[in-house]
């Protein structure tokens, strides 16, 4: 009969960015990365292996969507479990998908946990993280809560490329204010974008060469609870990434006018004594990092920036979990 399981995973935002793969087929990152798991953004996914079903189905918020990437992860689960049937995958986000916040991170982390459980595998966290990574690199980090590091590893099989918790959410309360500068998703997908950077940007070798140093410096800032250090390193990694993106052919220019205005608003707040730093992924939304006591001020300031549609405040969240 049917074999089913439901899991929840939270999204994450990288402080030290992952961009580029050392193995595209196994989806192994070329550089390590460090992220914050976000309490406010989560995905719930139910996987049902159904004998007799002709092909995998992927439903996002009740609408049928392309199942190719989900199928790829399900194939890995079928191979290692011996479950042969196709599956129905039903996913919902707790945030409006149209806001361009839908992330592959929470989606593939929830899928890895639900699919492996439905197939009767009892994988350890590390194995789940590797499985999620095969779906999407950033998803490996969403297995864990708080602050998380994804190792690039060196093994050809990628078995040393998994994420690990660096610090529990409660150990250092940090807040992320998300400024939504564009509704809808027009961005170039990360997988395609990073493939282009590796092939065409003259900055790519330097990006890979300096990645480990950035991870090491961030680890130290976290160990010492140095917020200014953390913020400066996060902005540095973000701007270095966007320099790499802009020097890709064709150029990956993810920012809009409001993205730039929000960056300046963050710098202006800082000039006025508020400890706040920005980071931006492969899209136009701006995420501002600050201690909790400044979150309201930061959200109000970003909410007044021309072109910012709305702001959301998130604390650090927990790791992926099985719901049933």
* Contact status: 11 vs ligand DP6 (CB under 6 A): no
CB of 190 to ligand DP6, least distance (A): 4
- Contact letters (x/-) for ligand DP6, 78-117, by CB under 6 A? --------------------------x-------------
User: Whole-angstrom Cα distance, residue 206 to residue 110?
Assistant: 34
* Contact status: 137 vs ligand DP6 (CB under 6 A): yes
CB of 219 to ligand DP6, least distance (A): 15
Element (H, E) at 166: strand 163-167
Q: Any idea what the Cα angle at residue 251 is, between residues 207 and 135, rounded to 5°?
A: 65
CB of 192 to ligand DP6, least distance (A): 8
CB of 21 to ligand DP6, least distance (A): 7
Residues within window 191-210 making contact with ligand DP6, judged by CB under 6 A: 191
Instruction: Label each residue of 97-165 as H, E or C.
Output: HHHCCCCHHHHHHHHHHHHHHHCCCCCCHHHHHHHHHHHCHHHHHHHCCCEEEECCCCCCCCCCCCEEE
User: Whole-angstrom Cα distance, residue 181 to residue 309?
Assistant: 6
CB of 27 to ligand DP6, least distance (A): 5
The torsion angles phi and psi of 141, rounded to 5 degrees, stand at -80, -30
User: Whole-angstrom Cα distance, residue 264 to residue 125?
Assistant: 40
Closest CA to 309 of 178, 176, 180: 180
User: Helix (H, G, I), strand (E, B), or coil: what is residue 310?
Assistant: strand
Residues within window 263-322 making contact with ligand DP6, judged by CB under 6 A: 281-282
* Contact status: 136 vs ligand DP6 (CB under 6 A): yes
* Contact status: 17 vs ligand DP6 (CB under 6 A): yes
Residues within window 141-200 making contact with ligand DP6, judged by CB under 6 A: 190-191
* Contact status: 45 vs ligand DP6 (CB under 6 A): no
Region from 87-95, 132-140, 173-181, 263-271 binding ligand DP6, contact rule CB under 6 A = 132-140
Counting residues that bind ligand DP6 (by CB under 6 A) gives: 14
Is 317:145 a contact under the CB 8 Å cutoff? yes
Binding site for ligand DP6 (CB under 6 A): 14, 17-19, 27, 33, 104, 136-138, 190-191, 281-282
């Amino acid at each position: 009969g049917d074999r089913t399981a439901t899991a929840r995973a939270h999204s994450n935002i990288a402080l030290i960015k992952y961009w580029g793969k050392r193995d595209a087929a196994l989806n192994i990152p070329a550089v390590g990365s460090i992220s914050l798991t976000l309490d406010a953004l989560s995905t719930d996914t139910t996987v049902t292996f159904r004998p007799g079903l002709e092909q995998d189905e992927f439903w996002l918020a009740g609408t049928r969507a392309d199942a190719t990437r989900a199928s790829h992860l399900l194939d890995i689960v079928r191979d290692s479990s011996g479950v042969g049937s196709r599956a129905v995958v039903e996913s919902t986000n707790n945030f409006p998908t149209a806001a361009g916040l839908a992330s592959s991170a929470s989606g593939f982390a929830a899928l890895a946990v639900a699919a492996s459980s439905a197939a009767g595998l009892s994988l350890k966290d590390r194995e789940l993280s590797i499985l999620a990574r095969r779906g999407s690199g950033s998803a490996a980090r969403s297995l864990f809560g708080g602050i998380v590091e994804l190792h690039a590893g060196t093994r050809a099989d990628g078995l040393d490329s998994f994420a690990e918790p660096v610090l529990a959410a409660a150990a250092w309360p940090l807040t992320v204010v998300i400024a939504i500068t564009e509704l809808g998703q027009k961005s170039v997908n990360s997988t395609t974008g990073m493939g282009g950077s590796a092939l065409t940007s003259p900055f790519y070798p330097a990006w890979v060469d300096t990645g480990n140093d950035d991870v090491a410096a961030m680890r130290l800032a976290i160990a010492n609870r140095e917020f200014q250090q953390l913020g400066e390193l996060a902005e540095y990694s973000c701007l270095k990434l966007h320099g790499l993106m802009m020097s890709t052919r064709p150029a990956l220019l993810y920012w809009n006018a409001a993205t730039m205005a929000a960056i300046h608003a963050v710098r202006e707040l800082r000039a006025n004594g508020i400890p706040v730093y920005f980071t931006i992924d492969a899209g136009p939304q701006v995420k501002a990092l600050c201690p909790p006591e400044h979150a309201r001020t930061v959200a109000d300031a970003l909410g007044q920036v021309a072109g910012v549609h709305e702001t959301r405040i998130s604390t650090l969240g927990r790791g992926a979990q099985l719901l049933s």
